[in-house]
């Protein structure tokens, strides 16, 4: 399930400087995350802010962000 959703997140050097975007559109993952962080619900984002998005796109942004935060970092002793 997560893999299918992560396929919605794309990076293309010709779109938003290669930043992760939703389905090749000029909607960056960070834009969606900032709207959620400001208190908007997924439904509000879809109906009021970014009508080209689907609910699965928002979930994909959250999964993408979680995977980046959970990236293991190895430190040499």
The CATH number assigned to the domain holding 24 equals: 1.10.10.10
How far is residue 8 from each of residues 3, 31, 32, measured CA to CA in Å?
9, 15, 13
pTM over 0.85: yes
Contact 24, 15 (CB under 8 A): yes
What domain count does the chain have?
Answer: 1
Separation between Cα atoms, residue 27 and residue 12, nearest integer Å = 12
Question: Would residue 27 count as lying in a domain?
Answer: yes
Question: Would residue 30 count as lying in a domain?
Answer: yes
Question: Would residue 63 count as lying in a domain?
Answer: yes
At 1 the pLDDT is 57
Question: Would residue 24 count as lying in a domain?
Answer: yes
Going from the first residue of the chain to its last (77 residues), give the mean pLDDT of each consecutive group of 10, the final group possibly shorter.
87 96 98 98 98 97 93 78
Q: Tokens representing 7?
A: 């396929």
Question: Would residue 76 count as lying in a domain?
Answer: no
DSSP symbol at 16: G
At 75 the pLDDT is 82
Residue 50 belongs to domain spanning: 2-69
């Amino acid at each position: 399930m997560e893999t299918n959703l992560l396929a919605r997140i794309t990076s293309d050097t010709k779109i938003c400087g290669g930043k992760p975007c939703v389905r090749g559109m000029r909607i960056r993952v960070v834009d969606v995350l900032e709207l959620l962080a400001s208190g908007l619900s997924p439904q509000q984002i879809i109906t009021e802010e970014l009508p080209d998005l689907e609910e699965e796109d928002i979930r994909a942004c959250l999964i993408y962000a979680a995977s980046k935060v959970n990236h293991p970092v190895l430190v040499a002793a």
